[in-house]
A and B are shown apart, each in its own frame.
Chain A
Amino acid sequence: MRTGTLLWAGLEVPQEEYLHPGHLACQGCGAALAMRLVLKAVGGDVMVVLPACCWTIIDGPFPYHALRVPLLHTAFETAAAAAAGVKAGLEVLGDTRTQVIAWAGDGGTFDIGLQALSGAAERNEDILYICYDNEAYMNTGIQRSSATPLGAWTTTTPEAHPEDRPKKDLMAIMAAHRIPYAATATVAFPDDLIRKARKAKGIRGTRLLHILAPCPPGWRMESERMIKVSRLAVATGAFPLFEVEEGTRYTLTYRPAGLPLKEYLKLQGRFAHLTEDQIAVLEKQVEARWKELLELHARTHGTVEDIPVVPFGG
C-alpha cells in the first residue's frame, strides 16, 4: 500500500487508495472516479450506505466488495434514511467520529430517494449525502430520470421525443431545507472536489455534494473523453460549480470560460440530434441559470468580481 501524498495542481492528495481495482465499472466511469476521489478526501474512517444504483454493480458481485471501507447495500428509496440510522447506531455504540456517507445516483436522489433525503435534511441528520449524477438510470439501460437534462436522448426519451423537461434543481431543493452545506463538484476538477468533500467532512448536520459523473455509455461518447466532457460542463457553464451554506449563502467556485455550450454538447451522442434552434434554447436556459446564480453570489458577497474564471486553455 502506497502512502504519502502527491501534488496535483498544488493540492496534496493522498496516495492511499480506498477503492480497489477489479471493480465492475465500465471503462472511463465518472462514478468510479468520484468514489475514489471522495474517499481520498475524507479518509478511511467512513461507512458508505448505498441504495440501488450503478455503484451496486460497480462494488462487485456478492460476496466481493470494491472498497476498503464498509458499505451497506440498501433499498432504492432509503439512502438518506438508512444512513441516518447507521449514524444513530454508531452513536449508540459510542462512535461519534465515523463519517456516514449516503452514496446515491441521480435516480436514487432526484426521484426515488427524494422523500427520504428531504426527511433526513429536515431533521438535519449528521450524514454526508453524495449524489453522483450521471443524468439517467444508467445501469438498468439508460432510462431518463428527473436529472436528465433538457433535450437529451435516453432509451425512454428517444430522438423523436427527447427529454422535454429541464433538469430538476436539486441544489435549490436542498437550499430550501436550510442544511448547513451543499455543493456541486465534478471529476475534472479533483482539487475542488476534494476541498469541498473535506469541508463537508468538517461540518456537522446534513451535508450534500452533487457530483456530476459523466457516463461514457449513457452519454454516448468515447470513454477517453470522460474528463474532457466533465471539464467542458464547467467551462461552458452547463454545470455550475458552487456552494450553498445554511441554504442562503451562495459562493460560485468558477465563472465559465466563455466557451459556447455547443463545445460541451458536441462531444456527446445523446445531444447529437439537437438542431441549432434547440441548442439556442438550451443556451438561453444556461444563461438564465447563471444570471440567477450570480445574483445569489452577489447577495452573499456584495460582488461577483471575486469569482475566478475556470482554469481552462484551448
Chain B
Amino acid sequence: MTRATALLLRAAPPALIVVAALVLPGYLLPNPEAAALVGEGEAGPTLWPTMLLWLVGLCAAFWLVRVVWAGLRAPPPEAAPAAAGRPVYNRRLAWAGVAMTFAYGYAIEMMGFAVATLLFLAAWCVLGGIRRAVVLVPVAAIGTVVLLYVFVALAQMPLDRGRGVFTAATTGLYQAIGIY
C-alpha cells in the first residue's frame, strides 16, 4: 500500500462525516415550512439537531486535519512483520457473518421465525466450522423448538410466521410441537 493510499483510507471516514454534517441539515424536516409554526424567540425542533450537526462536523474536521497532518509528516509505511504465533483473523468470515445476519432478518419476514431460525442456526454453525450432521441437526432442530417454546408459548411474542406456504408450515409446526 502506498503512502497516498494509506492516507486516503485513513482520511475517508472523517471526510465522509464532514460531508454528511453539511448535507444532513437539508433532510432534517420533511416539511421545512412547518418550522415557521415556532414562535419568535422560541427554540424550535431544528435547534438541537442543527447544533449537534455543527458539533459533529467540527469534531470530524479536527480529526481529518490531524489525520492529514500526521500522514504528511509520517515516514513511508513499511511492510508489516508477520504475526507469528498470533491467531489468524479471518475478515472475510466476519463479513460473511454480517451478510448472514441480514439474510436471516430477510428470511424471518419471508419464511417466518421458525423456518428461518432453523436454517440460520445450521448455517451459522457451518460458517463457524462445524460440519458434522450429528451436531448440526440437533443444535438447529432442538434449538429452534426451545426458542419457539420460550418466545411463542411462554412469552407469547407475535413472531413472524412468513408469507404464503410458510404461514401454513409455521402453523403446522406450532400444532405439531403443541404450542397451539
Instruction: Answer yes or no: do A and B interact.
Output: no
Binding site for A on B (CB under 8 A): none
Binding site for B on A (CB under 8 A): none
